[in-house]
Chain A
Amino acid sequence: MKKLFLITIATALMAGGAFAAKFSSRNETSKLFKSNVEALADGEYTVFGHCKEESTYCFAICPNCGAEYWASGHGGGSYNMSGNCQLCNHQF
């Protein structure tokens, strides 16, 4: 009985730890997108990501319908794109 109790506690602790880690990771991701919100949000679009400044331009294309989103005034390829395409409503 005591052994079962210990196993239950350990499992609960592990689950809690995993949940905390996931929540923390999600917060980090959220911070990343917030810190780069200006990247592709210059227009009226809802696509966020990260621009590599050193390149010639930065833009993203919805992989579902081909709608273009660009960061005016920013440079570079785009990474970790995330958003909702306004044309086809595809989430990427």
Chain B
Amino acid sequence: MNKLVYLPVFAAVIFTAAIGCKRNSEEVVYKPLVFDKEQEVKFTPISDEILFGGPARICKIGDYFAVLYYQRDSVPTFLHVFNKSGQKMGDYIPEGRGPKEGLMIMEIQNIGSDIILNDLQQKKAMSASLDSSGNVSISENQRDRKQWMINSFRIGENYLNYFAPGPYIKENRPPRLDLESSQGYRIATFYSSPLDYTDPMLRFKLDAGGCSQSLSPNGKHFVITYYDASIIELFTIDRSIKETYRGYFYPPKFKVVGTKVEPEEDRIWAFNALHAANSYVFASYDGDLASAKKKIRSNNITVFDWNGHALRLLKTDYRVDAICYSEEDGTIYAVITDESGRHYLGKLKIDLP
């Protein structure tokens, strides 16, 4: 009889141990990032110094570059068009609350000869069309933006939305990603996160303001990288959102103190500028400790294929603040910064498999 009493206790111990083993087996293993080839390369500046302020994005449209950066001026502007020789053709979208003005534009998306710009604060999307002479016409439409939506990309008539829900939201949390029809209903959702195992406040900090997202021009591939954690996620988008690769290379190093997330000295600076091309992913990368004393940070460019294969580590001579790749001429175009903090447009011819 006494032995029978101990039986449920024994079963509970076995069950707990089994759960523990399962959790351990699911623990993430970080492996150093290893590239097929590492090479030292040099950018060629193609413009005069530009009055750059973050955020920055660049895309090549025919013989022109559309560049997003906040230009501190008497009338600050967000969108800037350069020709292929690096001469500025015009500044567009002044800061303000009026028509064709912006307040908080952090992302541009290139679709054909159009640039889509989302203003997070004014909940509107603007479209800038470039003609073959480099003239720009701007239109805008109001778009209802859901709570916790940080970024949005247009795919045909649909939208791929990126969310970073707050740490206090326990019920009805939005997904990390959803594919939304033009009528506003959800076609597909994606919830899983590489940061599921960490503190909700830390996850929020990294998801909300600590990562970049990019959609390939053909709308089929999507990528997320983190500034302070060497993690990359690749997705295929096709009426569904399928994660095809998740690479863990170096963990985030933050401590959560109350409601604050404080960076630790032994964290590394990971990915920065991000660009999804149809065939490859390009991301500028630092790879050193935050405390490292270097003249230039984030001067490396990593190149991945869409299977997560790390193809190249290009060690450049400038900090890379924004990046795009032209498949036409096999050239990277970027907003670059020299050791003295001067900013330019630059180009870099590369050879990829």
Contacts and interface: CB of A to CB of B under 8 A. Distances in A.
B49 to A, nearest CB: 16
B262 A79 contact: yes
B54 A76 contact: yes
B121 interface: yes
Given A70-B106, A72-B95, A77-B210, A57 B262 contact: no
Interface string B29-71: 0000000000000000000000001111100000000000010
A79 B106 contact: no
Interface stretch (A5-13, A19-27, A48-56): A48-56
B251 interface: no
B322 interface: yes
Nearest to A60: B209
Interface stretch (B161-169, B233-241, B242-250, B307-315): B161-169
Interface in A50-82: 52-66, 68, 70-82
Interface size range on B against A: 35 or more
B322 A78 contact: no
A61 B164 contact: yes
A80 B262 contact: yes
B272 A64 contact: no
A54 B298 contact: yes
Contacts of A54: 269, 272, 286, 297-298, 319
B168 A52 contact: no
B175 to A, nearest CB: 15
Mostly, the B contact residues are loop
B104 interface: yes
Interface in B183-216: 201, 204, 208-210, 212
A73 B263 contact: no
A66 B297 CA distance: 31
A66 B95 contact: no
A66 B269 CA distance: 26
B321 interface: yes
A31 B104 CA distance: 28
A71 B273 CA distance: 18
B72 interface: yes
B25 interface: no
Interface in B315-336: 319, 321-322
Contacts of B272: 54-56
Contacts of A64: 166, 168
B322 A56 contact: yes
Given A54-B319, A56-B272, A72-B76, A66 B147 contact: yes
Nearest to B274: A56
A12 B79 CA distance: 62
B340 to A, nearest CB: 14
B209 A72 contact: no
Contacts of A71: 54
A74 B273 contact: no
A73 B53 contact: yes
Q: Sort A-B residue pairs by CB-CB distance and give the 5 closest, nearest first.
A: A75-B54, A57-B55, A73-B53, A61-B208, A63-B166
Interface of B: 53-57, 70, 72, 76, 95, 103-104, 106, 120-121, 147-148, 150, 164-168, 201, 204, 208-210, 212, 227-228, 259-263, 269, 272-273, 286, 297-298, 319, 321-322
